[in-house]
Structure 1
C-alpha cells in the first residue's frame, strides 16, 4: 500500500467537488417529473456522453483491462456489435418511445400485451440493475483498497450509502451532467495511464507488441462454431442481443431518449454515445495487454498473489496506486470512483422511476399526489441501494467481475428482449401468442442457466446445456420471438376458419 498525502487530498477534494456538483441540482428536483425526466433541456452532447458513460462505468475501467491481462481481446468483440444496435435504436427504438411518451420503458408492452408483460419485464429489469450495481460497487472498492488499505466490505457499504444520498439529491439532472463530465475525465485518465506504461516499460511500445504477440494476447478468440466456448461468434452474437436490449428496453437509455429536447437530438445522442464506446473500450484492452507486457518484462514488480488469474481485476488498480506519479494516482482513482457513483445513481434513479410508474401509479386506485410520488421515489432508492450493497459483498471472491456480470445479465434479461421485439416488429401478435412465447422462453432460460449446475455427474450430465452462458439471452430471445409469432399465426388462422363457418 502507498498512502501519499497529495493523493489523499486530490482524492477527497475531487470526490467532494463532484458530489457537490451533482447535489447542486437538488433545487431543481422538487417534483417527481423533474426527478425522473429533468427539464427536457439537456444539450445533445451531454445526453450522448451520458449514454456513453452508462457503457463505460468502472466495470469497463477495471474489468476490461483485467480481462485483457488475464486472457486476450476476445471480449472486445462485444464492442464490435455496437454499430448494429446503435443503427436499429436510431431507426426504430427512439421514435417508438418518443411516440409513446411515457417515463417508463415498459408502458409500451402493456399497450401491446396487457399488464402481465409490463410486470414481468420491469421485474427482470429491476433484478438486472441490482446485479449491475453490486458489480460496480465491488470494482470501485478494489483501487480504494489498494490505495488506502481500507477493508473492501467496508468500502462497498460506505460507497453504496453515499451514492444513495447523492442520487436522492441530484435526480436525473445530476446523474446526466455528472455522467458527461466523468466520461471526459475517464477517457483522459485512461489515455494518461497508457502513455505512462508505454514510456516506462523497458524497450518502449515495441516491447509491448512483441511480448503480447508471442502470447497471442491480441486474439479476438477462436473462429470455430463451438457453442460451449466464448468464441468470436458467441461473443459477437451475445453483444448484438445484449446491446439491442440496452437500447430497446433498458430504462437507463429510454429515460435519456425522453430527456432529450427533440427526437432528432435523441437519435444523435443514442448513435454517437454508443459508437464512442468502441474506441474507448479498445483503449482499455490495450491497457490490459500493455500491463501484461510490463509485468512480463518486470515480473519482480508484481506481487505473487496478483499473478493468479483470479486476481486479474486487481492488477490495474495496483499499477495505478504503485506506479503513477503522486497526485495523478488520487485523481485517477477519484475519477473511477466518481464515475462508478454516477453510474450506480443512474440505476437507482431509473429503478425508482420504474417502481413509481409501473407499480405504484399503475395499481394505486386513488390519484397519486406529487408528494406521494416523491416519497415512493426516495423509498425505492433506499431499498435498491441496500440490495446493491449486498450483491457487491457477495462478489468479493469471484474470479472475473466482467464474466460474472455478463452471465448474470444474460440470465435475468433473457426474456425481456424477445417480448419487446415481438411487440415492436410483429403487428398481428396476439396476447395468447406472447404468453406462449414467454412460457417457452422462461423454460429455456431456466434450463440454460440451471442445468450445468444441477446435472454435474454422470449419467445426468448429458441433460446439461451444451451452450455457453452468454447464449442464454440469445436463445431465450429467439425462442420467445419464434414461438410467440407461430402461436399468433395459428391463433389467427383458427379465428379465420371460425368466421368462414
Structure 2
C-alpha cells in the first residue's frame, strides 16, 4: 500500500474537516424545509453561478476528460461549445418560467399540464439520472484515490460519502452552495497546477507537446461530416446541447438554484457566469490529457505499470502472468486513459502538492454528489412523499424527511459506484446513462411549455412512443447480428437527441389528430 507523506494526509484531513464544519455552521439556519431546499432565496447571483459551475465541473470532468483526451482527442470539447446556446434558452425562458411558478420542484408543473403520470415519470427519470451520476463520480473518486493511497475502493467511497452526507444533511442547500463556491475555486487551481507540473516534466515544454499533439491529431474536435453513427463533432455538439437543455431546464440540481437567488435577474446571470467559467476550465482538462499523452510518449516505459494494472483487473487476480503481460501489451491508450493522471500524480508530483491536488479532486466529486443528494431528497419529499403519502407536514417533519432522504440517496449513489467498478471510461458510462434517462424527460418538458394545445392523451402517447424508441436505441447493441436490419445505426450519444425529438414532434402530431376527432383530455 502506498503511504502518502504526513503533510499530504494533513491537507486532505483538513479539507474534509473544513467541509463538515461548514455544514455544521449552516445547520443553525435550517429550521424548516424551505430553508433546507432554497435558503429562503437569499444567495447572491455570483455565488449561485459558481455553485452551478462547480456542479458541472465534477470528477467526471476532472478525471474523465483528461482520460478521453489522452486516449483519443478533443472531440468531447464540443460538449462545452454547446453550452452558450443552451444557456441563452435557459436565461430567456427557463429561469423566468420557474421563478414565475414558484414551485421548488422542477416537476410539479408537469402534473398541472398533463396529470400525475407526467410528474411521476419525470421524477423517476431524474432520480435514476442522479443515482447514475453520483455513482460515476464515486467511482471516479475512488479510482484516483486508490492509485494514490492503495486503499480499497469501497472503503474510499464509504469515507468520502460519509463526509458528504454529514455536511449536506446538516447544512442544506446553503451549505452546498457555499462549499461549492470554495470547491469550484479549489479544483480550478488544482487543474492549473497539474498543467504546470506536467509541462515542466516534458523535455522541450509546450513546443514538444504541440508537436506530438499535432502529429497524432490530439487536438481534433472530431470529423465534421454529417455522420451520426460515430462520435464526430456534430454528434457531441448535439448531445451537449440537448443534455445542457435538460440540465438547465429539467434537472433539479440547477432549477433549485434558480430559487435560491435573490432575484430573477440574478438567477439568469448565474447561468451565464457558469458557462463563461466552465468553457475555459473544461479546456484546461483537455490540455492536461494532451500534455500527459506527450509526456508518456516520451517516457513509454513508465506506462507499463498502468497497463499491467488494467490487464490484471480485466483478467482477475488469479490470471497467469503470461496472460496478463500479453493483454497489457495489446492495450490501446483509450483502454487505460482514466488511470494515467492518477499514475502521474503518484510518481511525479512532490510531497505537499499531492495533498492539494487530491483535495481538488475530492472537491470535484463532493460538490456534485452533495448537490445530487440535496436535489434528490427535495424531489423525493415534494413529488413522492408529500404527493402520495402525507401531504400535510409541519416544519420539523419536513426537515426530518429531507435529512433521511439525503442519507438514503447518498448510500444509493455509493452502491451505484461499486457496481461501476471495472468500466472502461467513467465519462463514457456517465454520458450514456444520462442520455438514456434524460431524453424522455426533456421531450415531455418542451412539449408542455411550447405546445399549449397539447393535452394529456397526446402527451402520454408521445411519451410512450419516445420510450419505445429510447429502449430500442439503448438495447440495439445486444441485438444479434442476424437481425442487424432492426438495430439502430446511430451513436449512443444520439439517444437523448432522438428521444427528445420523437416525444416533442409526435406530441405535436397526436395533437393535430385530436383536433380531427380523437378524444381530448
Residue equivalent to 1:98 = 99
2:276 and 2:452 map into 1 onto residues whose CA distance is 30
1:289 matched residue in structure 2 = 290
Query: In structure 2, what is the equivalent of residue 468 of structure 1?
Result: 491
Give the 3-state SS of the residue equivalent to 2:516 in structure 1: helix
What is the CA distance between 1:342 and its match in structure 2?
Answer: 2.2
* CA shift for structure 1 position 352: 0.5
1:392 matched residue in structure 2: 417
Residue pairs, 1:57-96, within 5 angstroms: 57-96=58-97
**Is 2:440 the counterpart of 1:415?**
yes
TM-score (norm 1): 0.96
**1:41-190 pair list within 5 angstroms:** 41-190=42-191
Q: Deviations over 1:162-204 (max 9, x none)?
A: 3222211121011000111110111111111112222221011
CA contact (8 A) 1:118 1:358 kept: yes
- Bigger Cα displacement from structure 2, 299-308 vs 72-81: 299-308
Q: Does 1:442 align with 2:443?
A: no
- What is the CA RMSD across the aligned residues, in angstroms? 1.6
Contact 2:306/2:339 (8 A) holds in 1? no
Structure 1 residue 352 corresponds to structure 2 residue 377:
yes
2:322 maps to none
Deviation string, structure 1 residues 330-373 (Cα, Å, up to 9, x no partner) = 01101211331121011000001001111122224652222221
Deviation at 1:20, TM superposition (A): 1.3
8 Å CA contact 2:23–2:169 kept in 1: the answer is: no
Offset, 1:21 = 1.9
1:380-423 CA deviation, whole Å, 9 max, x = no partner?
12221121111101111001010000000011111000000011
**Alignment correspondent of 2:502:** 479
How much has 1:11 moved relative to structure 2? 1.4
Q: Tell me the residue number matched to 1:457.
A: 481
- Name the structure 1 match of 2:32: 31
Contact 1:51 1:274 in 2 (8 A): no
**Per-residue CA shift, 1:288-317, capped at 9, x if unaligned?**
000000111122333443484322111112
C-alpha distance in structure 2 between counterparts of 1:94 and 1:165, whole Å: 30
| Residue 144 of structure 1, CA deviation | 1.6
Instruction: Describe the SS at the equivalent of 2:517.
Output: helix
Task: Provide Cα deviations, 1:254-280, integer angstroms capped at 9, x if missing partner.
Answer: 011011000000000011212321111
Are 1:14 and 1:331, in contact at CA under 8 Å, matched by a contact in 2?
no
Contact persistence 1:2–1:321 (CA under 8 A): no
Contact 2:142 2:157 in 1 (8 A): yes
Moved more, 29-38 or 139-148: 139-148
Structure 2 CA distance for partners of 1:304 and 1:320, relative to 1, 3 Å: closer
Q: Distance in 2 between matches of 1:369 and 1:154?
A: 38
TM-score (norm 2): 0.92
Partner SS state of residue 470, structure 1: helix
Q: Which moved more, 1:114-123 or 1:141-150?
A: 141-150
Partners of 1:304 and 1:247 lie apart in 2 by 42
Are residues 2 and 287 of structure 1, via their aligned partners in 2, closer, same or farther at CA, if it must alter by over 3 Å? farther
In structure 2, how many angstroms separate the alpha carbons of the residues matched to 1:377 and 1:140?
A: 26
Shift of 1:8: 1.2
> What residue number does 2:259 align with?
258
User: CA distance change for structure 1 residues 447 and 171 in 2, over 3 Å: closer, same or farther?
Assistant: same
Structure 1 residues without counterparts, runs of 5 or longer: none
Which residue number in structure 1 is paired with residue 319 of structure 2? none
Query: Given the superposition, is the C-alpha separation of residues 67 and 2 from structure 1 closer, same or farther in structure 2, using an over 3 Å criterion?
Result: farther
Q: Distance in 2 between matches of 1:264 and 1:153?
A: 43
Aligned pair count reads 495
Q: Kindly indicate whether the alpha-carbon contact (under 8 Å) linking 2:235 and 2:494 is maintained by their aligned counterparts in 1.
A: yes
> Quick check: 1:445–1:472 contact (8 Å CA) kept in 2?
yes
Residue 478 of structure 1: SS of its match in structure 2?
helix
In structure 2, distance between residues paired with 1:213 and 1:377: 52
* Shift, 1:440, TM fit: 0.5
Aligned to 1:488: 511
Q: Cα gap change, 1:293/1:477 in structure 2, threshold over 3 Å: closer, same or farther?
A: same
